[in-house]
Structure 1
Amino acid sequence: MTTAKDIMHPGAKWVYREETLDRAAQLMRELNVGALPVSDQNERLCGIITDRDIVVKCVSKGHNPAETRCAELCEGTPRWIDADADVSQVLHEMESHQIKRIPVIENKRLVGIISEADVARNLTDDQVAEFVEHVYAR
């Protein structure tokens, strides 16, 4: 059985919800990623922030990323998957919520993240096609 832990990108990092968007952007640059899970003070997931969120929801509206907190852009119920979840559960979660990235949690700790690139690299052509159809076609 292939699990979330088998296909995830390990070493994901949190950004604290009270950090500014400019700090989140700096972390994204340092880590060479386009998204970061956002945590509360207890390292519990409260959302994900993307580079696109920073541009579209902050910069393009004339807001200052040095004065805007990550928490201000976190919307909706945060989605995550357990490290031991079967890959079919991973796909179901991503497809049903039309999300392109999902944090992987083990023992209440962030251990990685699964992106659409991880899906493409690790799954069959049929699984990737189904993923694309459900996430992008709607």
Structure 2
Amino acid sequence: MYPELLRATSAERYAVKYEEAYQYNSHLTTEGTQDTRQLSVDADASDSLTEAIGDGFLVGIDGELSVMQGEMIEDNPVVGVYYLTPHVGLRGDIPEPTLYDVEQLRSVTVKNRQTIYCDETADNQ
């Protein structure tokens, strides 16, 4: 559920949970087969990259998606960048598989932007 009171910690918690569900469902939809035996996503927010911007926050999420196909276990990096405000939430991908070298989220190029939250008052802002 989108945070009613948006603070850095609530934005980070929301983005982590959303990213885990997003990556899990995305993998099942695009690459999951009857041989998929186990699938898990472990994501985390880098609090050093959470940036206050306007009335919201930029949040960087990275982690790992582990999948067992047959007898083979494969670990894949996952990365998402979020812009969360009280009225609108956006998620995007970056070309790099990690946020390791990123110093500011404002400096990254975001692709595949998706609206993940929009309340009824957003049109009146």
Check whether TM > 0.5. Answer: no
Which structure's residues are more often strand, by fraction? 2
Higher relative contact order (CA 8 A, sep 6+): 1
- TM-score, normalization: structure 2? 0.28
Which structure's residues are more often helix, by fraction? 1
